[in-house]
């Protein structure tokens, strides 16, 4: 035939090829007319197994096949018929007609058929079963989603819930996660095989048909797995198992509760996956499918292993965090006072307002002259290292407070210790994680004197106290900010003196956000006493009982502060220490001015004896006090400078103070046998349980403390 001749009619070869395609090709071929009815179908394709061509011919293709979202796919096919633009590799989900199996995936290509004259004859469809490919893609998507959504917190239970929420309903109709009970407490997981009797806790459960479905055990239940079952075997050899449940296997009888849930849920396929890490067993994942999803097969095992590896690593991270947090909390609990000390003129209460404040600490330290030191601080960082540093700094503060140092000088010496600790940390090997974590801390140190009602405060870092006056007004004292502890700086620490009326509340927090919250909401710490008891304020003001509360308990106010914190601030809160001032009984303090002459010794002894008698103190305490007074006054006359004064304070202990204007520091000596002097302070130290020297701008005060004799019952 000449090259210019028109296209010849289809010959025998072409017709034979078409017949072969429609009778032997594995690719599904369909010929549709212009009404989208099936005219011819490939009888050799696997999709036609068990299906009669007569059941398809003459039917619309959307009716001939059980297509998911049929309207959308029919619209796409009709668009090809109208425009002639072919549709290639269009993904369709469909079931075999009359079948009960889950829908499969098919790649459909559609081409319009035109005769040489341009008349539209119909459509040709080629369909390829890509179910296995799409199932593989689905598994990859499930794995990517698990890696993205599971393990976003350090809470193992939350991680388990994230896993079941991710897998249901796309990959499983029911998902259950059970963890070894010891893992949730942060303990080391047992090695494989799991010892008999080890309890597992049901940590998470999710059912695509809702939470009201039958469960073998409720979430939170602790159980011991009976065996042998696929669950116990998976925990023995750490190998996932795919179980077909077309009939009731004999192992179901070993666990009736689980068997009842499986039968009630219509489960036909089970995938059991152990959660293990380095040969240690963390728990077990059980995935169930019924009639709505394709049964699990061996291709799911690889996905299950990778999914379990990721989940197990996240759970183990949570376990390690729990362990470290438990250790840090235990150490912190033993390093801090069990409760703040409440004194005659100062009521205190403390509450940790965050569970992760491992580096937060507080202290209330009894000082001489009925004074109290209030401390709040926070070490940067978390975990056991922050707790250990906190314990070191608190011990140093306790030791320095015994020297009666002013707050600014105490913080300066504390900073020397913190700087030394920071240098030791910086000298660690670069491989040590602490090497990259700078040691810094913030601290507020306040000393309250109930006899003068003055509070002297100094601070290192960003923490600041808040004062709520009896009238409900709040004040943040203008205390110069000192450098954080652990930072070498030439800036000095300075103090601020604040007068506190009786009934004022001093709030110290290791978190600036709590301090700012209190400063903006002073009403949280101001509840007048008559709000609960109209007579309470009058009784307290009468001075009948200086220990009587001038308002609601401070512990309740601590709770009020905690409850009022916005959710965004609650996680950033640290520790809160409240101190409320109360009047110190005037009849329990006595002072006298003394002349700088030897006769003053006798006068001082006489004053002390009379005052002790007035307080009802008798016995050896009187003799010891008179002797202490004699020695201290004698030293002040010989080595000090006028003016001289004697003061006795009857508080938790009996305090004796002698004040003079001389700068000379007393020194304890151990006199030799032939020495005629030098035994004064030695005798004093033997009679008193504590003694020391306190300096101020006007001179020094030498003080002693003696235990008071038991009061007669």
Q: Give the model's pLDDT for residue 712.
A: 59
Q: Which CATH number belongs to the domain containing residue 567 in this structure? A: 3.60.40.10
CB 361 within 8 A of CB 333: no
Q: Is the domain of 637 the same as that of 555? A: no
Domain finish residue from 581, 606, 641:
581
Q: Give the model's pLDDT for residue 114.
A: 85
Question: Is 711 within the bounds of a domain?
Answer: no
Cα–Cα dist 687/616, whole Å: 20
Question: Is 524 within the bounds of a domain?
Answer: yes
Single out the residue of 464, 448, 379 nearest to residue 407, CA to CA: 448
- Three-class DSSP labels, 122-167: EEEEEEEECHHHHHHHHHHHHHHHHHHHCCCCCCHHHHHHHHHHHH
CB 213 within 8 A of CB 191: no
Tens digits of per-residue pLDDT, 70-95?
788 888 888 888 888 888 888 887 77
Question: Is 1 within the bounds of a domain?
Answer: no
Domain boundaries, position 97: 12-129
Tens digits of per-residue pLDDT, 447-498?
999 999 999 999 999 898 999 999 888 889 989 899 999 987 777 899 999 9
Tens digits of per-residue pLDDT, 159-199?
999 999 999 998 999 999 999 999 998 999 999 888 888 89
Q: Which of 52-56, 74-78, 112-116, 287-291 has the lowest mean pLDDT?
A: 52-56
Q: Is the domain of 485 the same as that of 503? A: yes
Q: Is the domain of 164 the same as that of 208? A: yes
Q: Is the domain of 341 the same as that of 305? A: no
Q: Which CATH number belongs to the domain containing residue 218 in this structure? A: 3.30.450.40
Q: Is the domain of 146 the same as that of 286? A: yes
Tens digits of per-residue pLDDT, 241-261?
998 887 778 888 888 888 888
Question: Is 403 within the bounds of a domain?
Answer: yes
When pLDDT is averaged across residues 393-414 and rounded to a whole number, the result is 93
Domain finish residue from 581, 616, 651:
581
pTM: 0.69
Q: Which CATH number belongs to the domain containing residue 84 in this structure? A: 3.30.450.20
Tens digits of per-residue pLDDT, 494-532?
999 999 999 999 999 888 888 888 888 888 887 765 544
What does DSSP assign to residue 525?
A: G
With 80 as the cut, is the pLDDT of residue 157 above it?
yes
CB 101 within 8 A of CB 73: no
Two tokens, residue 206? 């999710």
CA terminus-to-terminus distance, the chain? 136
Q: Is the domain of 140 the same as that of 124? A: no
Kindly state the percentage of the chain with pLDDT values over 70.
Answer: 85
Question: Is 712 within the bounds of a domain?
Answer: no
Domain finish residue from 560, 581, 602:
581
Question: Is 6 within the bounds of a domain?
Answer: no
User: Looking at per-residue confidence, does 354 or 685 come out higher?
Assistant: 685
Q: Which CATH number belongs to the domain containing residue 663 in this structure? A: 3.30.565.10
Q: How confident is the model at residue 209 (pLDDT cuts 50, 70, 90)?
A: confident
Q: Is the domain of 576 the same as that of 595? A: no
Domain count, the chain: 4
Q: Is the domain of 215 the same as that of 70? A: no
Q: Which of 1-10, 39-48, 638-647 has the lowest mean pLDDT?
A: 1-10
Q: Is the domain of 202 the same as that of 297? A: yes
Question: Is 37 within the bounds of a domain?
Answer: yes
What does DSSP assign to residue 275?
A: E
With 50 as the cut, is the pLDDT of residue 238 above it?
yes
The DSSP-derived string for 250-273 is GGGGG-HHHHHHHHHTT--EEEEE
Q: Is the domain of 310 the same as that of 346? A: no
Q: Is the domain of 162 the same as that of 34? A: no
Q: Is the domain of 507 the same as that of 456? A: yes
Tens digits of per-residue pLDDT, 612-638?
999 999 889 999 999 999 989 998 898
> How far does CA 182 lie from the centroid of its chain?
19
Tens digits of per-residue pLDDT, 305-332?
999 999 999 999 999 988 888 887 778 7
Residue 713: is the preceding peptide bond cis (ω within 30°)?
Answer: no
The DSSP-derived string for 426-443 is HTS-TTSGGGGS---EEE
């Amino acid at each position: 035939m000449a090259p210019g001749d028109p296209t010849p009619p289809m010959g025998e070869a072409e017709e034979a090829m078409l017949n072969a395609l429609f009778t032997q090709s594995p690719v599904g071929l369909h010929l549709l007319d212009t009404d989208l009815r099936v005219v011819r179908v490939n009888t050799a394709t696997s999709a036609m197994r068990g299906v009669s061509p007569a059941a398809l011919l003459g039917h619309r293709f959307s009716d001939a096949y059980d297509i998911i979202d049929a309207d959308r796919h029919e619209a796409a096919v009709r668009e090809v018929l109208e425009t002639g633009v072919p549709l290639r590799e269009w993904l369709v989900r469909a079931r075999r007609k009359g079948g009960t199996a889950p829908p499969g995936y098919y790649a459909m290509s559609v081409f319009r058929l035109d005769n040489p004259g341009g008349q539209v004859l119909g459509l040709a469809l080629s369909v390829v079963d890509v179910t296995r490919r799409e199932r593989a893609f689905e598994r990859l998507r499930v794995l990517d989603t698990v890696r993205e959504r599971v393990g976003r917190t350090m809470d193992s239970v939350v991680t388990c819930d994230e896993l079941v929420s991710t897998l249901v309903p796309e990959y499983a109709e029911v998902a259950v996660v059970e963890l070894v009970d010891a893992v949730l407490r942060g303990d080391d997981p047992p090695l494989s095989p799991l010892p008999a009797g080890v309890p597992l806790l049901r940590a998470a459960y999710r059912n695509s048909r809702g939470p009201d479905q039958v469960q073998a055990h409720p979430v939170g239940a602790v159980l011991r797995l009976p065996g042998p079952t696929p669950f116990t075997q998976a925990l023995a050899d750490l190998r996932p198992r795919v179980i077909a449940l077309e009939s009731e296997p004999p192992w179901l009888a070993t666990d009736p509760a689980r068997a009842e849930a499986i039968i009630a849920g219509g489960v036909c396929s089970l995938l059991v996956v152990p959660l293990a890490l380095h040969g240690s067993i963390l728990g077990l994942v059980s995935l169930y499918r019924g009639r709505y999803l394709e049964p699990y097969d061996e291709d799911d095992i690889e996905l299950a292993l990778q999914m379990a590896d990721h989940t197990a690593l996240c759970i183990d991270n949570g376990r390690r965090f729990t362990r470290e947090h438990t250790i840090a909390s235990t150490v912190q609990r033993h390093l801090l006072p069990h409760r703040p000390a409440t004194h005659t003129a100062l009521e205190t209460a403390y509450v940790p307002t965050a569970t992760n404040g491992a580096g937060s600490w507080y202290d209330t330290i009894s000082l001489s002259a009925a004074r109290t030191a209030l401390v709040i601080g926070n070490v940067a960082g978390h975990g056991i290292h922050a707790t250990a540093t906190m314990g070191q700094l608190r011990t140093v503060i306790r030791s320095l407070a015994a020297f009666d140092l002013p707050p600014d000088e105490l913080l300066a010496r504390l900073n020397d210790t913190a700087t030394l600790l920071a240098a030791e940390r910086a000298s660690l090997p670069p491989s040590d994680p602490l090497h990259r974590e700078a040691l810094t801390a913030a601290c507020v140190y306040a000393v309250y004197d109930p006899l003068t009602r003055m509070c002297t405060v100094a601070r290192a870092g960003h923490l600041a106290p808040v004062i709520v006056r009896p009238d409900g007004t709040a004040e943040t004292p203008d205390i110069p900010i000192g450098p954080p502890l652990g930072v070498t700086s030439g800036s000095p620490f300075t103090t601020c003196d604040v007068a506190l009326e009786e009934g004022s509340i001093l709030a110290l927090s290791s978190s600036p956000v709590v301090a700012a919250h209190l400063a903006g909401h002073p009403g949280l710490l101001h509840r007048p006493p008559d709000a609960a008891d109209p007579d309470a304020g009058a009784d307290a003001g009468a001075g009948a009982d200086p220990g009587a509360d001038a308002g609601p308990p401070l512990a309740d106010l601590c709770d009020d502060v905690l409850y009022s914190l916005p959710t965004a601030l609650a996680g950033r809160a640290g520790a809160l220490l409240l101190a409320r001032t109360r009047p110190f009984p005037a009849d329990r303090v006595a002072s006298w001015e003394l002349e700088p002459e030897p006769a003053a010794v006798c006068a001082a002894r006489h004053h002390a004896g009379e005052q002790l008698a007035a307080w009802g103190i008798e016995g050896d305490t009187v003799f010891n006090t008179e002797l202490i007074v004699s020695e201290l006054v004698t030293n002040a006359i010989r080595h000090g400078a006028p003016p001289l004064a004697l003061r006795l304070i009857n508080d938790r202990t009996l305090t004796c103070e002698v004040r003079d204007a001389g700068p000379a520091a007393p020194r304890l000596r151990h006199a030799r046998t032939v020495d005629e002097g030098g035994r004064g302070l030695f005798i004093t130290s033997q009679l008193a349980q504590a003694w020391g020297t306190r300096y101020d701008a006007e001179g020094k005060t030498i003080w002693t403390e003696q235990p008071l004799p038991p009061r007669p019952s």
